Amino acid sequence: MENSKELRTWLDDLGLDHPLVIAGPCSAETEEQVLKIAHQLKDTDVNYFRAGIWKPRTRPGNFEGVGALGLNWLKKVKEETGMKTATEVANANHVELALEADVDLLWIGARSTVSPFIVQEIADALQGTDKVVLVKNPVNPDLSLWLGGIERLYKSDIKRLGVIHRGFSTYEKTKYRNIPEWQLAIELQNKFPDLPLICDPSHISGKRDLIFDVSQTALDLNYDGLMIETHFDPDNAWSDAAQQVTPESLVQIMKDLKIRKETDAEAEYNNKLNQLRAQIDVIDNSIIDTLGKRMKVADEIGALKKQKNVAVLQSKRWNEILGNMILEGEQRGLSEEFVLKMFKAIHQESINHQEKILKS
C-alpha cells in the first residue's frame, strides 16, 4: 500500500465537520424495526445506517440473522430516508447479494478476519468494487493478521478501505467485553496514518454505560469515526441487547463528545499534544495492568514458598533478572539508572506480597 493517501479519499469526499458515524441495530429483526430505527436516525449526524443481516454466532441455536430478506429492508431504508447503508459480509455469496442490493458499505467481521482464506474469498468477490470496505480487527490481538486483510483487499483493486477497532477477546474478566488493546490500533495508525480508523465502542464495551468513555478515548487518539449499535428498544433486542443504545442516547453521546476541529497553529499544537497524552494514558494503564498481573504471580510464588518453607529472597534469581532487564532497557533507550530504580521498586513490592503470604 505504497500510496496510502488514496485510501481515505472516500472519507474526505464526505466533507464531514464531525467524525464519521455508523449506527443502527446489531441485527435486522423485522422490516418494521429496521425502518423505525432508520427514520429516528435520518436527521442526525449518522452517515451510514448499519444492520446485521447475517450474524456469526459463537454457538449454534442463537439468532443468526434474517439473511438475504433483510437486504430488502435496507433498500427501503435508502428509499425512504436517503441514508447510506452498511452490513457485514462473511463469504462470497454474502458479497454478491449485498452488491445486488446496492449496500454502500461492507465490513468484514472479527471472526472472518482471522482466516486469510475467507478474506481472500471476499476480496476476490469484491474485485475492483467502488464500495467502501472496512476490516474489523481479528478476535485475537494480531496486528499482522489485521493488516493482511487490508493488503488482500488492496491487491484486489479495492481502494475505498478502512479498519474497525472492536477490541480483542480475553480469558480474563475485565470491565470490557473485548479489551481495547489501544496500543495495537495506535501502532497500525502510525504505520498507515491515512488509513481510516473507526472505533466500535459497542463491542469493546459490551455495556452501554461504557460507550461514551470508549468513544471519547478513540477520538482523543485521533480516530476517524465510530460505529455504535442503536435500537429503539435495546433491552429487548434479539442480539447484544446490553451494548445497544437508543437513538436519543446516541444523539446525546455525539453531542457530549469533545471533538477538536480547529486548524490554527495553536489549536493544532494542542490537538497533537492531546493525542500524544491520550497515547501515554493508554500505555500507563497497560503498565498498571501488567504490574497487577506480575504481583498476582508473585503471590502464587509466595504461596509455593510457604508450602515448602523456602526463604522469600533469592539473590541469584534477582541478580539474573536485573542484569537481563538492564540489557533489555538499553535496547529500548532506557538508562541503567532508571531500569535499576524501577525494578528495585517492583522487586520490593513482590517481596512485600510474598512476606504477607508467609505471615498469613
Report pLDDT digits (tens) over 302-344: 898 888 888 877 788 888 888 888 999 899 999 888 988 888 8
What CATH number was assigned to the domain covering residues 266-359? 1.20.59.10
User: Mean of the pLDDT values across residues 80-93?
Assistant: 97
275, pLDDT greater than 90: no
Q: How confident is the model at residue 56 (pLDDT cuts 50, 70, 90)?
A: confident
Lowest mean pLDDT segment, chosen from 152-166, 230-244, 305-319 = 305-319
pLDDT of residue 31: 97
Q: How confident is the model at residue 87 (pLDDT cuts 50, 70, 90)?
A: very high
Q: How confident is the model at residue 2 (pLDDT cuts 50, 70, 90)?
A: low
242, pLDDT greater than 90: yes
264, pLDDT greater than 70: no
Return residue ranges of the chain for CATH 1.20.59.10. Answer: 266-359
Q: How confident is the model at residue 107 (pLDDT cuts 50, 70, 90)?
A: very high
pLDDT of residue 59: 66
Q: How many CA atoms lie within 13 A of 235 on its CB side?
A: 0
pLDDT of residue 57: 66
Q: Classify residue 231 as exposed, middle or buried by CB count within 10 Å of its CB (0-12, 13-18, 19+).
A: buried
Tell which CATH classification among 3.90.1150.10, 3.20.20.70, 3.20.20.140, 3.10.20.30 matches the domain 4-259: 3.20.20.70
pLDDT of residue 181: 92
Using alpha carbons, select from 107, 100, 154 the residue that is nearest to residue 127: 154
Q: How far apart are CA 87 and CA 67, in angstroms?
A: 11
User: Mean of the pLDDT values across residues 73-82?
Assistant: 97
User: Mean of the pLDDT values across residues 205-222?
Assistant: 95
Lowest mean pLDDT segment, chosen from 20-24, 50-54, 337-341 = 337-341
Q: How confident is the model at residue 260 (pLDDT cuts 50, 70, 90)?
A: low
Q: What average pLDDT is seen over the chain? A: 91
Q: How confident is the model at residue 58 (pLDDT cuts 50, 70, 90)?
A: low
349, pLDDT greater than 60: yes
pLDDT of residue 347: 86
Using alpha carbons, select from 276, 309, 278 the residue that is nearest to residue 215: 278
Q: How far apart are CA 335 and CA 122, in angstroms?
A: 49
174, pLDDT greater than 90: no
Return residue ranges of the chain for CATH 3.20.20.70. Answer: 4-259
pLDDT of residue 65: 82
Q: How far apart are CA 240 and CA 243, in angstroms?
A: 6
Lowest mean pLDDT segment, chosen from 49-58, 178-187, 206-215, 260-269 = 260-269
Q: How confident is the model at residue 219 (pLDDT cuts 50, 70, 90)?
A: very high
pLDDT of residue 191: 87
